[in-house]
Amino acid sequence: MTTQTNAPGRDTSIEMKAPEAPTSSLEGSTWTGNSPESGEYTMKFLKEGQLQYIINVMQNGVTEPRTVKGTWKQAGDSVQIVVGNSYSVLQGTLEGSVIKGSGTNQEGVSWKFALFKKE
């Protein structure tokens, strides 16, 4: 009697799960959000963790964009955004083309936010 270790036609492969798609970096992307207090705003995620927070402000009867510098960090789907001189800190989760989370500021105010990727 002979024994075949690899009989023809026999599937000896092992099914492996496909690796999860890597989370894409926010670097170079632009996102928009809306706040009841300040209206629509834009966040630009720049290289080396730099951030531009752009908001329209009314000054002398004229609405003009104002840019505040900040920083950002990303670890997988987790995102931390710091606006101004640590005035506001936002913690969020990246879910496709949306970042959802909560923020706090130095005045003790906390809120929920959602940012939407601008194409």
From its phi and psi, is residue 67 left (phi > 0), alpha (psi between -120 and 50) or beta?
Answer: beta
* Residue 113 confidence (pLDDT) above 80: yes
Amino acid at 65: P
Domain presence at residue 3: no
Q: How many domains does the chain have?
A: 1
Domain presence at residue 7: no
19-58: pLDDT as tens digits? 555 568 999 999 999 988 778 999 999 999 999 999 988 8
Domain presence at residue 98: yes
Supply the pLDDT for residue 44.
98
- CB of 55 within 8 A of CB of 66? yes
| CA of residue 80 relative to chain centroid, distance | 8
Supply the pLDDT for residue 58.
84
71-110: pLDDT as tens digits? 999 999 999 999 999 999 999 999 999 999 999 999 999 9
Domain presence at residue 5: no
Of 57, 82, 81, 52, residue with least CA distance to 67: 52
Whole-number Å distance between alpha carbons of 52 and 28: 11
Range of the domain at 102: 30-113
DSSP character string of 4-73: -SS-TT-------PPPPPPPPP-TT-EEEEEETTTEEEEEEE-GGGEEEEEEEEEETTEEEEEEEEEEEE
Supply the pLDDT for residue 1.
54
Domain presence at residue 92: yes
Domain presence at residue 118: no
Domain presence at residue 8: no
Q: What is the CATH number of the domain that holds 86?
A: 2.40.128
